[in-house]
Amino acid sequence: MKKFLKTLSVLLLISALLVGCSSTSTNSTDSGEETTETTTVDGNTWAKTYDALISKSKAESDPTARFELLHEAENLLMSTGAITPIYYYVNNFMASKRITNFYASPLGYRIFTYALVDGKPGGTIVACLASEPDTLDPAKNTTVDGATYAASVYGGLLGYQDDDGLFILTADLAAEIPEAVKNDDGTVTYEFKLRDGLKWSDDSDFKASEFVYSWNRAVSPDTAADYAYLFEVVDGYEDAIAGKGELNISADDEANTFTVTLIADTPYFFDLTAFPTFAPVKQSSVEANEEAWANDPATAISMGAYKLESKETGKQITFVKNENYWNAENVTVEKLNFALSDDDNAILSNFKTGDYMFIGSFPINEINTLKANYPDEFFTVPYIGTYYISWNVNAPEFEDFDETQREDIRLALGLLLDRNHIVNNITMGGQNPANSFVPDGISDYNGTQFTAHNGINGDGSGYFSVDEADYAENAATAVEMLKAVADDSGLFSYTESGDTVMFFEGFPELIYLTNNTTGHIAIAEYIQSVWGSYGITINIESQEWATFLDNRKAGNYSVARNGWIADYDDPISFLDMWVTSSGNNDAQFGKGTHGQYTGY
């Protein structure tokens, strides 16, 4: 395992990591059961350590051993300093009293399918969630707003439904949730019986083999889907992702069944079947225009409660009820209009005038006023996610530092941030300071919180303290770490007054990338101020949503605002995104020069 010993033992993370310096280790649990010896080795690359941990966890059928691997993966991830957690999300939004029976899930979906407008079925809901989406293709989407669009339009084997306030999995295109068949070789097979008489939104018959096409398309390197790695639990993935074969899935159109073989028992598999990446798409429509089929009502053929009626770039997306949906008789809203904007002031103005009935963002400095003036229309509900800063591990500004120095810089700059100040004085929406990447709300193997067992010692203390009383000590530790890097590298210097560092000089100037909403910009300005007070200059670059996403994904940044909402209740949803080949690996772990580093 990577040698975690850093510059100063006073830092919780650093001192705790002293126990993890040997080539093998065991993690303790509260269960009293025998622990599993880990397999990471000093002197390996990111791919041979982190990627290997994630792959092993997916093939591990014993829940205790599996979660030990996942805790070890988070330990390694957090040791890099490239993920700087700020706070755990809550979902703040405004909804007009005109709409009821909608559902905002802790996974980020906004479900309007069975809502009522003015107390009765029918009518149109106008909402604004974000600006122009990067894509409407369910296999390629990675955003929360895009997930809402996809969930409205593209049905899956299973789906989510509100059950008296609980967000539960239920059969959608499948007639029922199947039982697992465990095979002699350790693999697990599921046979899904589909509902009779299923039709596409264009009234053509749906065939079970459309799932075979859609899943293989999503994992194909030609599609380059960011979420392709989710299919790693399906047998045949390695050949499929390499373009050398297909997934071990099959369909019998006559029997109306779809069969999937997994590499091992996967506790979150059913959640995957409800995820947009796993939704069926019509082969003939996709192949008619691979790049833009999902934007054209003529080719955006779907199996969900709604279908695409129109899309005006930069203005709005309109979905209309799909009369061919198997449960169409219970769909209560006739039309969904999603306005596209990232102008918080304009969004709020449209809500106040009644033009928008649901909004997902508003000026951050208005939150307290909105809570007071709209007590029945301002909502704060649970979200399972983490707002964080991501660092490009190959950032050119740090190319002259060695990897250990880069990690210390990132860890130190993270410690300089007062998370309590951010949530109490900037976001003011009920968020909690975060000291881990996997957030509250994700379950451990025994039904407790994953965060209750996080941190190097597995005691739930996280990776640094977020107690208000400990901020001064965190900042002092950060300064000492930066001084040590300055002394070791000779690449920047500092001035002191007695025992106090007044200023760092010659530190690389950074660009902080964010998108154009008031909350993100306010946090960026706070970070700019704090780091600037120590002589560390960052320039804020604010970009339009889709452009921002593309640049962050491509690694065209040094440090950027980021956030992740759970795709399902399992820590792997937060951890497998950082494997080398993941399309969501914004930090660029295992790529470029970082891919050659063998200190793990």
Domain 12-88+383-596 and domain 94-171+290-381 have a common topology: no
Contact 330, 121 (CB under 8 A): no
More reliable by pLDDT, 112 or 36: 112
The DSSP code sequence of 116-180 is EETTBS-SEEEEEEESS-S---TTT--SHHHHHHHHHH---SEEEEEETTEEEEEESSBSSPPPP
The predicted structure's pLDDT at residue 192: 99
Percent of the chain with pLDDT over 90: 88
Considering the segment(s) 181-278 as one domain, its CATH architecture is Alpha-Beta Complex (3.90)
Q: Is a pLDDT exceeding 80 seen at residue 391? A: yes
Taking only the tens place, the pLDDT of each residue in 470-503 is: 999 999 999 999 999 999 999 999 998 776 777 9
For residue 99, what is the enclosing H or E element? strand 99-100
- What SS3 state is found at 70? helix
Dump strand ranges (E) for 313-463: 316-321, 335-340, 358-359, 378-391, 432-433
For residue 63, what is the enclosing H or E element? helix 63-79
Token pair listed for 505: 């000089």
Backbone angles phi, psi at 500, to 5 degrees: -105, 125
Taking only the tens place, the pLDDT of each residue in 429-466 is: 999 999 999 999 999 999 999 999 999 999 999 999 99
Residue type, 263: I
More reliable by pLDDT, 17 or 263: 263
Q: Compute how many other C-beta atoms are within 10 angstroms of the C-beta atom of residue 266.
A: 22
Q: How far is Cα 308 from Cα 320, in angstroms, rounded to an integer?
A: 6
Token pair listed for 58: 């997916």
Q: How far is Cα 210 from Cα 233, in angstroms, rounded to an integer?
A: 20
Token pair listed for 511: 């660009």
Q: How far is Cα 272 from Cα 570, in angstroms, rounded to an integer?
A: 11
The predicted structure's pLDDT at residue 528: 98
Taking only the tens place, the pLDDT of each residue in 350-365 is: 999 999 999 999 999 9
Taking only the tens place, the pLDDT of each residue in 530-583 is: 999 999 999 999 999 999 999 999 999 999 999 999 999 999 999 999 999 999
- What SS3 state is found at 95? strand
The fold adopted by the segment(s) 94-171+290-381 is D-Maltodextrin-Binding Protein; domain 2 (3.40.190)
Contact 526, 426 (CB under 8 A): yes
Q: How far is Cα 587 from Cα 144, in angstroms, rounded to an integer?
A: 19
Residue type, 441: G
The predicted structure's pLDDT at residue 2: 34
The predicted structure's pLDDT at residue 165: 61
Q: Is a pLDDT exceeding 90 seen at residue 36? A: no
Dump strand ranges (E) for 313-423: 316-321, 335-340, 358-359, 378-391
426: left (phi over 0), alpha (psi -120 to 50) or beta: alpha
Q: Helices 344-353 and 518-532, interaxial angle, to 10°? A: 150
The predicted structure's pLDDT at residue 73: 98
Average pLDDT over residues 242-253: 98
Contact 432, 423 (CB under 8 A): yes
- Name the average pLDDT for the chain: 92
Q: How far is Cα 600 from Cα 597, in angstroms, rounded to an integer?
A: 8
The predicted structure's pLDDT at residue 19: 28
Count, residues in the chain:
600
Q: How far is Cα 512 from Cα 499, in angstroms, rounded to an integer?
A: 30
Taking only the tens place, the pLDDT of each residue in 282-338 is: 999 999 998 899 999 999 999 999 999 999 999 999 999 999 999 999 999 999 999
Assign domain 12-88+383-596 one CATH number from 3.40.50.1820, 3.40.718.10, 3.10.105.10, 3.40.50.2000: 3.10.105.10
Q: Which of 389, 380, 381, 404 is nearest to 437 (CA)?
A: 389
Domains of the chain: which residue ranges? 12-88+383-596, 94-171+290-381, 181-278
Average pLDDT over residues 380-386: 94
pLDDT band at 42 (very low <50, low <70, confident <90, very high): low
The DSSP code sequence of 475-543 is HHHHHHHHHHHHHHH-S-EEEEETTEEEEEESPPPEEEEEES-HHHHHHHHHHHHHHHTTT--EEEEEE
For residue 396, what is the enclosing H or E element? none
